[in-house]
Chains A and B, each alone.
Chain A
């Protein structure tokens, strides 16, 4: 066009953009750059999301890992003949109610002989779980002939002992000896003399710590002296005095020192026993026997050792005696690590090593079944009516708007509704999957109705019209032709709605499902809890071992969600028809 009109007097209608002009070129480049930027933003967004997801999964996964293994002691358990009266030997009730604590105690005593006194014995028995006897009880109930025999059985360790083997203990440094050592006794408080100055290195490190503490005290004194509090000057003077004394002792390289629980623990392994050092000099120590010595013979260089439990006793949950006992079991190859089946086969417990998620899984299944039975037929029927049969008027518009609103109502509101209606008005039982299912059905019903209507709408009108054309009634056309074709979409919507219900805890709080329930529920009116609630409850408990359990339960919940969403995708892929 420009060519034709070129050279005429009146200027032609000029192209407003000359694509060859530098400005136009710049504009084009700008457009390309904008597009590239947008792509980069998109990629960045997806990458960020992927990073977050990976971090979440890796974090949960690594935290959950310890929950799936457990440690137990493989010991010979002697089942005494007098466990039950002779005439009751085949009576399961008597066997079940027999006292197994003495059996456990004797087993442990035999495994580590020489642990004496009430305190140490209690420590020993507390290493194993209070549920350790349960397995043995079940075995004997199943086979009463075991009474009077010795069986090899795993005794489940308590949570702290289990965590010790999972790395929550202390590093142990072993140093061989250079000189001869002589213990004064085999048990109680004893003295060990070692003329070869074997302990001098340890003494030096203790003195170093003392010097550090003296410095810290001085700094404290310095700060206190600046305080405005009335007795600050006196307190500062006191602290300074303490610091000077401490520094003097730290500088005296030969004086004996008393160890406290804020220092790393020092122990001597000698003559088959273990002595915890309480007072330390370069050539002699005083200490308490943790594991008894076999004799008071002098031990040659290299035959005895100095052990350091690097983490101070006050900084760990497990005492020196417990560490010593567990290390002894480990040295005897009696500690066994195995897959934690109990996590999947038992209900909740306050003992982390006994707690399992079976109760929560069964509760979840029961609740979701009730939800599904209620909301699938109601939701689909409502969707069909609204989509295919309902007249379009103000009233149906109102219903439609309200269904959409309902989908956005916070879930706690449904819980309150459940409390007011199902519990207080209908008098249904508290904490029951029945009520939980009813509440969750209310929660997911709008989702299912909306998804089903969308699926029905997506079926081309020609299908229905063809059916009507050959004489089918409206209902026949819908049920024989439209509904089957919409089914994959309805299923997908339903499964996603159910997955939503699977993750809810807030509405369940109101109806009493946030509860400690040990027994695995047997029906929809038994007290039960669900997986997300179990996670919430465990996460709030002080015991460290429950943190792994929490993560473990999260993994199980995630697996459930993946499976459900995967099924939804599979259904869609498998049955979806495109027009």
Chain B
């Protein structure tokens, strides 16, 4: 028995040493972490650079935006990722965290736009919403006739406005941990709440109560948390023609045969409308690059260059084929120039 213990201990020690030696040596592969929304696009760029750029294909992890920033800002050196994907801009707290850990030169690259869409089965009754109606349908508390906040009384869409179809309100969407859910609150619920006079007044008098109103979603079954996987929501919409789903534009585009986008404020979620900024549910996507790793990790600048090249990022680029909505050409040009020059963020750039 003792021999067995010795062998095992020796084996463990050996593996440990091998691991140590490997981690200590330089890394020759770019490591990316972050948002699962940006993941489909960053992976496409990674594969492309691996095929044509003469470097090892970067490893792209899907950790979520918040988790990505945490890993990214943990420090400088081969043990820490070089890039993080984000479906929202970096927050002040995250920037401070980065600075505290020595990650002082961070380059922000806006890579494109994602459309946050509400969709339904083509077989269901067509719905057109204003942001205000969307808020009234999904907020946990809505103002009553006197402007007082009460529990959401609306059961059917037609209860909100007679012009809407007379079917039960049933919306499938992401859970609170998802970045898509944050975007839904910020892009649709907040502007929707501002449109309602009683809440607009509340915003002036009691900011906190107002924020509470648009940040909470009803829990009485009208909003169903369907998990992080957008394909699951798509399948549920196919099965239930009266239900509505919230997910990214690329899923709507891919399932155009069965699904229809719900127009918001009269604008349907279509490529051109989102690209032109007319559609309410448009949000920018970012990658953040650790400038201090440029020159240390081979190919990092090449990777960023590939990402902002017109071959990838333009309207005809391969990222557009993957469902990313490209930026207006003028903006893309500035971003491309800043990214190539590796212009780092300053404290005044983040909020």
Interface residues of A (CB under 8 A from B): 122, 126, 130, 168, 223-224, 226-229, 232, 311, 314-317, 349-351, 370, 373-374, 377-378, 381, 384-385, 422-423, 426-432, 434-435, 438, 475, 479, 509, 512, 514-519, 524-525, 527, 537, 539-544, 547
Cβ A540 vs Cβ B230 within 8 A: yes
Select one of A223, A514, A540 contacting B162, CB under 8 A: A223
Contacts A514-B62, A515-B59 given; indicate if A315 touches B29 (C-beta within 8 A). Answer: no
Chain A nearest CB, measured from B182 CB (Å): 18
List A contacts of B47 (CB < 8 A). Answer: 349-351, 516, 518
Is the CB–CB distance between B122 and A544 below 8 Å? no
CB <8 Å contact, A317 and B254: yes
Our count of residue pairs bridging A and B at CB distance below 8 angstroms stands at 145
Say yes or no: A544-B254 contact (C-beta < 8 A), given A427-B23, A429-B22, A519-B56.
Answer: yes
Q: Are A527 and B46 in contact (CB under 8 A)?
A: no
Contact in complex: A427, B16 (CB < 8 Å): no
Residue ranges of B at the interface with A (Cβ–Cβ < 8 Å):
1, 4-5, 7-8, 11-12, 15-16, 18-20, 22-24, 29, 31, 33, 36, 39-40, 42-44, 46-47, 50, 56-57, 59-63, 79, 122, 130, 161-165, 228-231, 248, 250-251, 253-257, 316, 318, 321-323
Query: Are B36 and A540 in contact, CB atoms less than 8 angstroms apart?
Result: yes
A-B contact pairs, 17 of them (CB 8 A): A122-B316, A226-B163, A227-B163, A229-B130, A350-B40, A350-B43, A381-B8, A426-B19, A426-B20, A427-B23, A431-B59, A434-B15, A475-B1, A542-B248, A542-B253, A543-B254, A544-B254
Tell me whether A370 and B61 are in contact (CB under 8 A).
no
Residues of A within 8 A of B162 (CB): 223, 226-228
With contacts A315-B257, A516-B39, A542-B40 taken as known, whether A381 is within 8 angstroms of B1 at the C-beta atoms is yes
Of all chain B residues, the one with the shortest Cβ separation from A543 is B254
Least CB separation from B39: chain A residue: A516
A423 nearest in chain B by CB position: B79
Q: List chain A residues, Cβ under 8 A from B56.
A: 519
Bound-complex Cα distance A311 to B256 (A): 12
Nearest residue in B to A533 (C-beta to C-beta)? B62
- A232 CA to B57 CA in the complex, in Å? 56
Task: List residues of chain B with CB within 8 A of the CB of A232.
Answer: 163
Q: Which residues of B contact A537 (CB under 8 A)?
A: 62
Contact assessment for B5 and A527 in the assembled complex, using a CB-CB cutoff below 8 Å: no
The answer to whether B256 and A377 have CB atoms under 8 Å apart is no
- CB of A518 within 8 A of CB of B19, answer no
Let me know if A544 and B60 touch, CB within 8 A: no
A518 touches B36 (CB 8 A): no
Chain A nearest Cβ from B51, distance in angstroms = 9
A228 touches B250 (CB 8 A): no
Would you call A429 and B19 a contact (CB within 8 A)? yes
Chain B residues with CB below 8 A from A542, complex form: 40, 230-231, 248, 250-251, 253-254, 322-323
Most chain A beta carbons < 10 A, residue from B15, B250, B253: B15
Closest A residue to B165 by CB, please name it: A223
A540, B163: Cβ atoms closer than 8 Å: no
CB contact under 8 A between A426 and B16, given known A228-B161, A519-B57: yes
| 15 further interface pairs, Cβ-Cβ under 8 Å (given A315-B256, A540-B229) | A122-B316, A228-B161, A232-B163, A429-B19, A429-B22, A431-B59, A432-B22, A475-B1, A516-B46, A516-B62, A517-B59, A518-B46, A519-B57, A524-B15, A525-B22
The 3 closest A-B pairs by CB, nearest first: A227-B163, A226-B162, A518-B57
A427 near B20: Cβ-Cβ < 8 Å: yes
Q: Determine whether the beta carbon of B59 is less than 8 Å from that of A547.
A: no
Q: Are A311 and B257 in contact (CB-based, < 8 A)?
A: yes
CB nearest neighbor in B for A550: B231
Docked pose: A227 CA to B4 CA in angstroms: 81
List chain A residues, Cβ under 8 A from B60: 515-516
Inter-chain CA distance A384–B130, complex, in Å, is 70
B260 shortest CB reach to chain A, Å: 9
Contact B61 A512 (CB under 8 A): yes
Complex contact B79–A317 (CB within 8 A):
no
Residue numbers in B under 8 Å from A370 (CB-CB): 15
Residues from chain B with Cβ under 8 Å of A422 in the complex: 19
With A and B bound together, what is the CA distance between A2 and B178 in angstroms? 80
Residues of A within 8 A of B251 (CB): 542
Residues of B within 8 A of A350 (CB): 40, 43-44, 47, 322
- Complex partner residue of A317 from B20, B29, B36, B257, CB under 8 angstroms: B257
Residue of A whose beta carbon sits closest to that of B20: A427
**Most chain B beta-carbon neighbours within 10 Å: one of A232, A374, A475, A518:** A518
**Contact (Cβ within 8 A) A314 B46:** no
B50 to chain A, nearest CB (A): 6
Taking a contact as CB atoms under 8 Å apart, the answer to whether B163 and A224 are in contact is yes
Question: A229, B161: Cβ atoms under 8 Å?
Answer: yes
- In the bound complex, what is the Cα–Cα distance between A547 and B50 (angstroms)? 25
Cross-chain contact B20 with A516 (CB below 8 angstroms): no
Once the chains bind, are B46 and A377 in contact (CB under 8 Å)? no
Chain A nearest CB from B78 CB (Å) reads 9
A428–B20 contact, CB under 8 A?
Answer: yes
Q: Residues of B contacting A543 with CB < 8 Å?
A: 254
Cα–Cα, bound, A515→B59 (Å): 6
Chain B positions within 8 Å of A311 at CB level: 257
List the A side residues contacting B231 at CB < 8 Å.
539-542, 547
Chain B residues with CB below 8 A from A475, complex form: 1
The minimal Cβ–Cβ distance linking A579 to chain B, given in whole angstroms, is: 25
Output the least CB separation between A544 and chain B (Å): 6
Contacts of A544 in B (CB 8 A): 254-255
| A355 CB, nearest partner CB in chain B, Å | 10
Please judge, given known A-B contacts A227-B162, A428-B20, A527-B29, whether A377 and B254 are in contact too, CB under 8 Å.
no
Contacts of A547 in B (CB 8 A): 231
Let me know if A385 and B1 touch, CB within 8 A.
Answer: yes
CB distance from A201 to the nearest CB of B (A): 26
Residues on the B chain within 8 Å of A229, using CB: 130, 161, 163
Residue from B12, B22, B50, B318 with most neighbouring chain A CB atoms (10 Å)? B22
Q: What chain A residues lie within 8 Å of B19 (beta carbons)? A: 422, 426-429, 432, 434-435, 525
State whether A525 touches B18 (Cβ < 8 A): yes
In the complex, chain B residues whose CB is within 8 Å of the CB of A540: 36, 62, 228-231
Residue of B nearest to A428 (CB): B19
CA distance A432 to B19 in the complex (A): 9
Which residues does chain B contribute within 8 Å of A351, judged by CB atoms? 47
Residue of A nearest to B166 (CB): A223
- How many angstroms between the C-alpha atoms of A423 and B15 in the bound complex? 14
Task: Tell me which residues across on chain A come within 8 A of B228, comparing CB atoms.
Answer: 540
The answer to whether A539 touches B1, judged by C-beta atoms less than 8 angstroms apart, is no
Q: A432–B22 Cα gap in the complex (Å)?
A: 11
CB neighbours (8 Å) of B253 from chain A are: 542
On chain B, the residues within 8 Å of A426 by CB distance are 16, 19-20
A110 smallest CB distance to B (angstroms): 25
Which of chain A's residues have a CB closer than 8 A to the CB of B255? 544
Cβ contacts under 8 Å, B163 to chain A: 223-224, 226-227, 229, 232
A434 and B255 CA atoms in complex are apart in Å by 39
A122 (CB) vs chain B CBs: closest residue: B316
A428 touches B23 (CB 8 A): yes
CA distance in complex: A370, B79 (Å): 22
A239 to chain B, nearest CB (A): 10
**Which of A168, A311, A350, A429 has most chain B Cβ within 10 Å?**
A350
A561 to B61 CA separation, bound complex (whole angstroms):
26
Residue of B nearest to A429 (CB): B23
List B contacts of A432 (CB < 8 A): 19, 22
Task: Give the CA-CA distance A524 to B15 in the complex, in Å.
Answer: 9
B residues near A519, Cβ cutoff 8 Å: 50, 56-57
Residues of A within 8 A of B161 (CB): 227-229
B165 contact set on A, CB distance < 8 A: 223
List the B side residues contacting A509 at CB < 8 Å: 63
For B8, what are the chain A residues with a Cβ–Cβ distance below 8 Å?
374, 377-378, 381
B39 contact set on A, CB distance < 8 A: 516
Q: How many Å lie between the Cα of A451 and that of B289 in the bound state?
A: 49
